[in-house]
Structure 1
């Protein structure tokens, strides 16, 4: 029986129960946090959930020709890359990362952007899976048949610099930055050494760490309180961060809160601060 996901988040218990389902695809989307420009992660002798396939955000599922990190692929390129790792139209995808909740929501958002809904993030990631003593193995390149995944691009899910610039004075849109308060107010340095400090004018700060507790997302009740308090006037959300990774955590939190009118600024602060002539607040 084909698995169907009705929420954007699943538990380790749920995944273990369905581990042998024929249409389940588990993706390990781990990356390292940005520290002085280092975002690479070694897959050599890397432990993973049993049967997981590595989803390489940095080198396979980002546009390496783009001027900024983590730029999303075109729908055609994404479709072909997803097919190569065996993802099909009827796959049920669960994505996780090594840091609890960090890079996996980015993958969830990319699939949403490509019109694929049967995907969820594993709450607590690999660390919680190990805590539950569920089966692990060393990561391998599983020989999988080519999938038949097809992309159905949803442009409302993504925003570009011109969109964000237009949104600054738009009273129906709220721009929310997922970086730390120190980075938002230029009191702490950016991890990418060439990036200026500050934030987009009229944006507000919601550090992604405020919706996470002990490596897991806060409850839906807590998430609703956070997002509804932040956005009392029910504006559309545009989420931003350093380069589109942690903005996707806020997008996931908003989705779980029942909020549908949200998008991610793909270039985020890295693109904004490096684009000549754009206003910066500190």
Structure 2
């Protein structure tokens, strides 16, 4: 029987115990944080067997108008196969910040119909803190995998669906940006993007669901989300460019919410299109 993740979030201890499993695929999905020094954000070492999952250049549509746009399923399938991912693989995704960009990779695989995938709680910092071994980063020879993508369209929303939802309010939009950006007290980092937020949306900064680089406890997450919405309400998560929205998607999943989606264009798209309504 092939290795299965116990949940959408696994501990460094779980990963260490299963490190030698033939079906285990470890992906490093690190992105530099916005406004961070790129060189300072990158580590020389990695977890053994780790393969770089390039969200920006490989697993986003680089020809799209807005950053981090989801790839068409067939292109995602081809690129995942190049990383050696099989239909029988067990995928653990981590990043070098703790939890930042790794949930985006987790969400992409879920969207492509693959459920045997989890985020490493605490990422590389937690792995190092536990004194588990690391190796120098290197290019590794990979055998072509047989991964198959089965796109789940309901897990991503476009601006037209979000616009329709302003009237119907069938789903609650939750924005992962900082409170200052949500209320327009702080200007957007992209000068061409308007300030403010989507009408009727709520603000839950992604930092509120994290504790020292780890995801907050299940009970704390349940309490946090209960303040916003009941479990029977469908949720759309948004942020700046679709990265940290996936942190909220992970947190909601761990808290027991299963009617979740991510607005792929997020505020960069919404704030760039001239005819879309905004609030401050």
Question: Would you say same fold, with TM above 0.5?
Answer: yes
Query: TM (normalized to structure 1)?
Result: 0.96
What's 2:7 paired with? 7
From 123, 142, 145, the equivalent of 2:143 is 145
Query: TM (normalized to structure 2)?
Result: 0.96
What's 1:111 paired with? 109
What's 2:164 paired with? 166
Matches within 5 A, 1:66-105: 66-105=64-103
Query: Which 4+ runs in 1 deviate beyond 4 A?
Result: 38-45
What's 2:20 paired with? 20
Once the two structures are TM-superposed, the CA of residue 2 in structure 1 deviates from its matched residue by: 1.6
CA–CA separation in structure 1 for the residues paired with 2:90 and 2:38: 27
Once the two structures are TM-superposed, the CA of residue 244 in structure 1 deviates from its matched residue by: 0.3
CA–CA separation in structure 1 for the residues paired with 2:153 and 2:42: 36
Confirm or deny: 8 A CA contact 1:31 1:39 kept in the other structure: no
Which stretch shifts more, 163-172 or 99-108? 163-172
**RMSD over aligned Cα atoms:** 1.6
Alpha-carbon deviations, 1:174-229, whole Å to 9, x = none?
00000000000011122233322100000000000000011100111111111122
Taking a change above 3 Å as real, the CA distance of residues 13 and 152 of structure 1, as seen in their structure-2 partners, is same
Question: Unmatched 5+ residue regions in structure 2?
Answer: none
Confirm or deny: 8 A CA contact 2:196 2:278 kept in the other structure: yes
What's 2:245 paired with? 247
Give aligned pairs, total.
280
CA–CA separation in structure 1 for the residues paired with 2:2 and 2:45: 27
CA–CA separation in structure 2 for the residues paired with 1:253 and 1:141: 32
What's 1:269 paired with? 267
CA–CA separation in structure 2 for the residues paired with 1:245 and 1:113: 14
